[in-house]
Amino acid sequence: MPPLPVWFRYSPKNSYSIAALLPLVEAGLAREPRSGIMLYSLATAQAEEVYAEVDRARSVGAVDAVYVAGGPHPSALPEEALEHFDFVVIGEGEETLPELLRTIREGSNPSAVSGIACKVEGLVRITEKRPAVNLDLYPPFSNILAPIEISRGCPWGCTYCQTSRLFGTCMRHRSISVIERYARRHKDIRFTSPNSLAYGSDGRKPRLDKVEALLKALAGQKKQKPIYFGTFPSEVRPEFVTQEALELITKYCANKSISLGGQSGSPAVLHRIGRGHGREEIERACELSLDHSLVPQVDFIFGLPDESVVDQRLTLDLVRWIVSKGGKVRAHRFTPLPGTPLWGRQAAPLAEDVQASLGRLALEGRLTGSWSRDHSHE
């Protein structure tokens, strides 16, 4: 009997995960459930829709499939995901997924596979945790091009963020030679990282020698291509933005901007969410970036739990200061994410004057994002 075909449920929202896992799994791409083994990677924003799709496919019975979920949402809530799926891959999929697929195809005991959740005689069983993977052993992509993931894991554990919970607090890095090899396939070179300027470091203390070695190697490639570092889809922590760091970016990269995680203008909120930096670091990073002709693009979260009107006005002041200097701001509404300390917490209501000011800044084209249920300006 031929082995069960494997399908990744493709959507533009999960293309980076599929790009990373496709080289490890012989699978096709599907835009709807197909018979065989159906793989889904999902974040919280997609959970409801994905669960409904899987439930529909199961109830109609036209698709004979085993359903496997992975990604940040099922990893944090495996019991919930198992109400819809047969298996959950918890955390990193590089080693777990190929082993689970082999087990399913061979019909052997899935509880022997580390790093998964499944149901055994109706009860949820979570198997032994798997150690973090060595990124160099796995390609960042194959057929589907994606920005190169240079680092994984983050020591900061900000209370609203899933990164440290999903990938651990120990920062790991791809080696320069592997990054170089995959960069040859890109027309312009972009990266993903919890903090690009932490490349080569423990995530707390920069190792600019390692950042320079990386950028120098990429800039020295035979076929020269623009390099974008510390910009979308990655960002940098403000205290990593120093004169020396920016000199490296302006020397080797094509950036005209730099993406900074600011999150709040209130020292009390920054402290509460465990950012490990204050408001001054955000201001200094913006000023230094502008001095180096890089437009700071700063992310802020509005409505963090227990945020007072005073906190919100402090953030708004900082937003105004940044745009007055020529920077840009992207505002987000707080969304509780499973697996984080703020899961289950309500977003604080947004003060009317703050909401109105954000709306005015958006209309003037100086702010983008989505900071309340009714306002979204992309």
Q: Which residues of 282-314 are buried (b: 16+ CB within 10 A; e: fewer)?
A: bbbbbebbbebebbbbbebbbbbbebeeebbbb
Tell me which stretch binds ligand SF4 (CB under 6 A): 99-107, 150-158, 295-303, 326-334.
Answer: 150-158
Minimum distance of ligand SF4 from residue 239's CB (angstroms) = 10
Residue 211 binding ligand SF4, by CB under 6 A: no
Tell me which stretch binds ligand SF4 (CB under 6 A): 80-88, 128-136, 159-167, 241-249.
Answer: 159-167
Per-residue x/- track, 168-207, ligand SF4 (CB under 6 A): --------------------------x-------------
Is the bond into 238 cis (omega within 30 degrees of 0)? no
Minimum distance of ligand SF4 from residue 247's CB (angstroms) = 23
The CA-based angle 305-171-211, given to 5 degrees, is 110
Residue 78 binding ligand SF4, by CB under 6 A: no
Estimate to the nearest angstrom the gap between the alpha carbon of 214 and the chain centroid: 22
Q: Please state whether beta strands 191-192 and 148-149 pair in parallel, antiparallel, or not at all (unpaired).
A: parallel
Q: Which is nearer to ligand SF4, 192 or 255 (CB)?
A: 192
Residue 71: which region, alpha, beta or left (left: phi > 0; alpha: psi -120 to 50)? left
Cβ-Cβ contacts under 8 Å for 112 (sequence gap 6 or more): 103, 127
State both tokens at 240: 């990593």
Among candidates 199, 200, 313, which has minimal Cα distance to 264? Answer: 313
Q: How many helices (H) and strands (E) does the chain have?
A: 13, 16
Q: Which is nearer to ligand SF4, 151 or 357 (CB)?
A: 151
Minimum distance of ligand SF4 from residue 24's CB (angstroms) = 24
Residue 161 binding ligand SF4, by CB under 6 A: yes
- The SS3 of residue 87 is strand
Residue 164 binding ligand SF4, by CB under 6 A: yes
Minimum distance of ligand SF4 from residue 155's CB (angstroms) = 7
Q: Which is nearer to ligand SF4, 33 or 238 (CB)?
A: 238
Among candidates 31, 83, 41, which has minimal Cα distance to 58? Answer: 83
With CB under 6 A as the rule, give the number of residues binding ligand SF4. Answer: 10
Among 9, 130, 237, 277, binds ligand SF4 (CB under 6 A): 237
Q: Which is nearer to ligand SF4, 41 or 163 (CB)?
A: 163
Q: Which is nearer to ligand SF4, 157 or 359 (CB)?
A: 157
Q: Which residues bind ligand SF4 (CB under 6 A)?
A: 154, 156-158, 161, 163-164, 194, 237, 261
